Chain A
Amino acid sequence: MTTYKNIHGRSIQSLATDPTESSAEGQIWYNTTSDTFKTVVALEAWSSGSPMITARRLMASSSSGPQTAALGVGGYIDGTGDTAITEEYNGSGFSTGTSINTARREFDGAGTQTATVVMGGRIGSNQQRAETEEFNGTSWSEQNDLNTGRQRLSGAGIQTAALAFAGITDTDATEEYNGTSWTAANNMGSGTYGQGGSGTQTAALSCGGNPYRTTTEEYDGTNWATVNSLNTGRMFLRASGTQTTTLAFGGKTPPSNFSAVSESYDGTTWTNTPSLANAVAEQGRGGGNSAGISFGGFTPGVTSRSEEFTRSTNTITAAAWASGGTMNTGRTALGGTGITTAALAMGGGAPLNVQTEEYNGSSWTSTNNINVGRAIYGGAFGPQGAAGAASGEPTSSPAGSSYEEYDGSNWTAGPSLNIARNGGISLGTQTAALCVAGFTGPAAPNSYIKTSESWNGSSWTSLPSPGSDTQTAGQGSSAGTTAAGLIFGRYDGAPNYTGKTDEYDGSSWTVGGVMITARYATAGSGAQTAAMVSQGYSTGTLNVAEGYDGTAWSTRPNCSVGKYQVAGAGASNTDCISFGGSGNSTATEEFTGETTAVNVKTLTQS
C-alpha cells in the first residue's frame, strides 16, 4: 500500500487527541480516536463589539496599540458639536478616560492608549488647526503646534516618533514629531485628505482618501513612494497596523455611499477580507490586520457601535447573554446569591413573597419558604447551601431587622440586625458578612442609614460611620467577600441614582471607579476585581451591563430584557446570571465571557 510518507517523504503524526495550541496552524495529523485526518486553519471575520459610551465620529485614535487597548479621542456629535470626551477600550468594553483639553474633530493620533499624541483638526468653526496634545495615561498636556495646521489628516508612529501627513488644505504635507516639536519632511507623492494611515514614523502607509482614491503610498522615513493600489477606492476610511500588516476598513464610495469593505495589506498587495457587517465612515481605529477594531463613526447618523476583526486559528466565542431557566415564581425586589450553577432566590415583592428557589445552572426548583416574606433587594449573601438574608421590607413596617440563614433545606431565624433597614447591600458568608447602608423607611434623605453592620456568625455589630456619602443609600449591588468586597450603584437622593463604587478591604472603604451608567436596583455579582452589574433603573428601565476589573467599569453586551429590582449571582464577570425583577419577571439570563478554542478542521477523504 502506498503511504503518505512514500509519496511525500514525510510521515504524519498520529495523535489520540487534537492539539490545543494555535501553533498547530498548517499541520496535518491523523486522529487515531476519530479515524480522521485533521488540520488547524486560520479564519477571519468582523464580529460585533461592545458599543462606545458616546456615539460620535471624526475622532482621533491611537495608532500603535493592539485591538485590546484602543483609544478614541474627541470627535464630533451631530446636533451637539465637538467633544473632548475620551474613551478607552480594553478588549471587553469601553470606559471613560480623561478628556482632552481642547474639544475638536477631524484630527488624528499616534502612539498607544497610555502614550498618545493627537494633532491638528477642526475646533468648532475654526479650521485647519495645529494644536498638539500628549496623553501620558493619566492627563493631557498641550505641546508644540504642527507647522502646518490641517484637518482630516492621518497620524502614525508613537508619541516620541510620530508622523502626521496629508489633510485639508495642505494635502501632501508631512511632518515628523520627536516628542517635543514637529519638523517638516518630504511631501507625499500626491495630496489627499480623509485617507487611511498606519505604520511608524520610518515605515508609514497612506491609502485611499479624497476623492475616492485607490492610491497607496509608503513612507520610508525620508520619501514617499506609490505602491500597489487598494482594490476599492474610498475616502473617509480608517486604517491601522504596521506598514506590512495594515487593515483598511469602511469609508465612502461614489457617489456618497457608506462602505463595509475591508482590505488587508501585507507590504506588497491589498487583499479583500470579509467585510464589516455595518457600512461606516469617519470612525475610530485600532489594532492591525490580524486583530483590528472599528468603533463609532457615521452611517449616516453618528453611531456608537463597534466591530472587531479577528484573524485567528482560534474559534472565538464572544461574550454574550443567553436565556436561562424560568423561575417558578416571578417576582421583583427579590434576594439573590450564589453562583451560576448553584444560585438561590428568595423573597421579593410586592406582593410580598416567601418562596425560595434553587438554580442548578439550567432550571429552578422550589424549596422551603423563607420565614419572613419581604422585599430583600441586595440583602442576600453567601453560597446556595449556606446563605443569609438580612433586613428588607416586610409587610409590618417599611424596614426590617430580621436575619435568616439557609442550610440548603430550611431557613432558620438568627439574631436581628441592630438597625432595621430596607435596601441594605449585603455580602459575605454565614460566618463573615456585611450589611451596608439602606433606608429606615421610604427612600428620602432623612431616612438614609450611614452605618453598616458586620456579622461574625453569631451577632451583628455596628460599624462606625464611614464618614463619607458613599454608604448613605441603598438598593445597590455587591460582589466579593468581607475581606475584598465591592458595592456599586445605588439610590442616593442626589440625583436619586448613582454610579458610585466602593471597595472594602475588611477594615476600611476606598472609592473605586464610577460606573458608566449611574443606576440602582441592579443585578450584581462577582468578585472585587471581576464584578458584573446589569440592568437596573435610572430615568427608565435599563438593559445595559458593565464589568469591573478592580479599577474601572467597562461596557458588556446588553441583556435582552431591561428590568430593575433584579437579582444577580455568579463568581465573576465572565460567569454570572441575572434573574427575576420588575414586572414580576420569571426570566433568567446567563452571561458567559469570551472563550477561545483552536479551530480544528477534519479533512475529507476522497
Chain B
Amino acid sequence: MAHFIYGVAQNTGKGFFTAEDRRAFFLRGYLADVWCIGNNVEGARWLAEKNGVEKTKAEAQALITAEVEAAQAAWDAESDEYKATHQRPSDVTLP
C-alpha cells in the first residue's frame, strides 16, 4: 500500500487541520493547494471532509511544478539586485 495519498483542498483557515489531525496522520501542504496525506483511514477521511479532490501523485506533482515554474520565471525576471539577496526557488518533489 502506498504511504501517501495526494489531494487538492483549499485551506479555509483555523480548523482546516487540527492538532489531532496532525497526530493522526502525516500531513504536508504544498503549492497549488496540494496536500500529501498519510495513507490511513483518518487521512482519507480528512481529505473527504475538506471537500478535497484526490489526485494521483503525477497529477499533484504537475500542479506543484507549474507553480514552482511560475515562481522561477518571476525570479528570472527580477533585477540583479533582487537576485543577489533572493535565491531562485528550487524544484519541489513530492515524497
Query: Which residue numbers of A lie inside 8 Å of B, CB to CB?
Result: 43-51, 78, 92-93, 125, 168, 252, 255-257, 260, 274-275, 277-279, 299-301, 305-306, 308, 310, 315-321, 543, 555-560, 594
Contact = CB atoms under 8 A, between A and B. Distances in A.
A47 B22 contact: yes
Which 5 A-B residue pairs are closest in the complex by CB-CB distance?
A320-B15, A45-B19, A278-B29, A558-B12, A318-B15
14 contacts: A48-B17, A49-B13, A78-B74, A256-B87, A257-B92, A277-B29, A278-B28, A279-B28, A301-B67, A301-B71, A318-B19, A320-B14, A321-B15, A558-B10
A47 B17 contact: yes
Nearest to B72: A300
B12 A557 contact: yes
A235 B27 CA distance: 23
B16 to A, nearest CB: 4
Contact of B14 (A44, A50, A275): A50
B28 A277 contact: yes
Interface residues of B, number: 32
B85 to A, nearest CB: 8
Given A300-B75, A558-B13, 11 more contacts: A45-B22, A45-B23, A47-B17, A47-B18, A51-B13, A92-B14, A252-B87, A278-B28, A299-B31, A319-B14, A321-B15
A577 to B, nearest CB: 16
Nearest to B67: A301
Contact of A318 (B18, B75, B85): B18
A306 B16 CA distance: 11
Contacts of B19: 43-47, 310, 315-316, 318
Interface in B55-95: 67-68, 71, 74-75, 81, 85, 87-90, 92
B31 A556 contact: no
Given A45-B19, A317-B18, A260 B28 contact: yes
Contacts of B87: 252, 255-256
B32 to A, nearest CB: 10
Contacts of A47: 14, 17-19, 21-22
Contacts of B13: 48-51, 93, 305-306, 555-558
A168 B81 CA distance: 14
A277 B14 contact: no
B17 A277 contact: yes
A196 B22 CA distance: 25
A82 to B, nearest CB: 13
A300 B14 contact: no
B15 A319 contact: yes
B4 to A, nearest CB: 14
Given A255-B90, A277-B27, A48 B74 contact: no
For B14, B51, B81, the residue with the greatest tally of chain A CB atoms inside 10 Å of its CB is: B14
Nearest to A193: B85
Nearest to B51: A560
A543 B13 CA distance: 12
B20 A257 contact: no
A320 B21 CA distance: 13
Nearest to B85: A168
A316 B21 CA distance: 11
Contact of B22 (A125, A257, A274, A321): A274
Interface in B8-48: 10-23, 27-31
A256 B71 contact: no
A308 B19 CA distance: 9
A45 B20 CA distance: 8
Given A299-B31, A301-B31, A317-B20, A48 B88 contact: no
A306 B11 CA distance: 10
Nearest to B17: A48
A273 to B, nearest CB: 11
A47 B24 CA distance: 12
